[in-house]
Amino acid sequence: MSLATQLNDRIKQYGPITVADYMRTALLHPEFGYYTRKDPLGIQGDFITAPEISQIFGELIGLWLAEQWRILGKPESIIVEPGPGRGTLMADIIRATQHVQGFHDAISIHFIEGSPVLREKQKQALKGHHPRVQWHTDFKKLPAKPLLLAANEFFDALPVRQFMYAADGWCERMVNVDAEGKLHFILVREIPPVDFPAVSDVIFEYGEDGAHITRTISTHIRTHGGAGVIVDYGFDGGSRGDTLQAVKNHKFHDTLHDPGTADLSCHVDFERMKRNAEAQKVAAYGPVTQGAFLNALGAKARAAILCKNAPHKKASVISGLERLLSPDTMGHLFKVLCIVPMKHPKPEGF
């Protein structure tokens, strides 16, 4: 049985499902989900992410977190990474901060990961790097300590619902199945759970899980202290319409074709994320572009050191960095937002 067949049966029996339900099932179905079954990252996989492109990304984020920890007064803290993929970002964070006095002794590492395959990869990547590493499936049981959070390409994987103001009022875009068993989108009368401007025929996306997680992180930072940095591709307010996309083998794929075999993601609305954070009485800065953020943190100087230490790697160091920084590749599309307590000084890079 495939996931397509299962979804067909379910929709035939119970009716159309929301785009969020569709995403959630396609990505994390316990048996056939995309992330449940495979490691999607890298050249052999379907897509590649910043930490997999260049170690500089994780190193600078590591130093940024250690600096926030210093400003917080060097408390015993938890480092939390949701959606850690292969564990590369955390391995780079740990390596880059090994000489920050007291840091490694003060922290424990907490991964939030839904995929058993990727958990295994993360275990391998972190082996011997740090004595205290734990895995969670969600944010519910994090220890009540200051939170240092790094998230890269996690929020784009969270399910969104889609709404549209059509001629006869608000509708939700849902996934239905036709007589031949083919999945397709339909509009169903439904009032959105948040206020969207009633602009005809524009799709608005609402990510309930993303909003909930932003609130959880923010409340934790307000209550116990901490600092979070969130990197993802996305936009700063307004609507981008339908941003649901499927990627397979580094190419775009039909979003409804063969669910569970392609990555599904959406652009992150950073303005909404910022408002959700601020509503919890924390300070949120950004979004700034990934290019501006990494430049401000000294990406070029770091690259120069890497090239000096390993001249044979110069070409790949330079091309990796270029890919992270250039407006034509990831430099502009990817954005960075940070969340800190109200009285915390504005962090570097924002």
Distance CA 331, CA 345 (A): 25
Phi, psi for 34 (deg, rounded to 5): -55, -50
Assess whether the previous peptide bond of 259 is cis (omega < 30° from 0).
no
Residues facing 162 on adjacent strands: 173, 205
Q: Does 153 bind ligand SAH (CB under 6 A)?
A: yes
What minimum distance in Å lies between the beta carbon of 125 and ligand SAH?
A: 11
Q: Does 288 bind ligand SAH (CB under 6 A)?
A: no
What minimum distance in Å lies between the beta carbon of 43 and ligand SAH?
A: 13
What minimum distance in Å lies between the beta carbon of 50 and ligand SAH?
A: 6
**46, 52, 172, 205: which one binds ligand SAH (CB under 6 A):** 52
**114, 226, 260, 320: which one binds ligand SAH (CB under 6 A):** 114
Question: Which residue, 164 or 231, is less far from ligand SAH as judged by CB?
Answer: 231
Phi, psi for 246 (deg, rounded to 5): -115, 140
Q: Does 59 bind ligand SAH (CB under 6 A)?
A: no
Q: What distance lies between CA 103 and its chain's CA centroid? A: 25
Residue 280: helix, strand or coil by DSSP?
Answer: coil
The residue written with tokens 């992150």 in the block is 268
Residue 72: helix, strand or coil by DSSP?
Answer: coil
Annotate 203-269 with DSSP letters as a single string: EEEE-HHHHHHHHHHHHHHHHH-EEEEEEEEEESSS--S---EEEETTEEE-TTSSTTSSEEE--EE
What minimum distance in Å lies between the beta carbon of 180 and ligand SAH?
A: 31
Question: Which residue, 114 or 225, is less far from ligand SAH as judged by CB?
Answer: 114
133's torsion region: left (phi>0), alpha (psi -120 to 50) or beta? beta
Candidate segments 49-57, 97-105, 282-290, 312-320, binder of ligand SAH by CB under 6 A: 49-57
For the segment 62-101, give every residue that binds ligand SAH (CB under 6 A).
82-85, 89
**107, 112, 268, 283: which one binds ligand SAH (CB under 6 A):** 112
Site mask for ligand SAH (CB under 6 A), range 18-37, x = bound: ---------xx------x--
Q: Does 264 bind ligand SAH (CB under 6 A)?
A: no
Q: Does 280 bind ligand SAH (CB under 6 A)?
A: no
**Under the rule (CB under 6 A), what is the footprint of ligand SAH?**
27-28, 35, 41, 49, 51-52, 82-85, 89, 112-115, 118, 152-154, 157-158
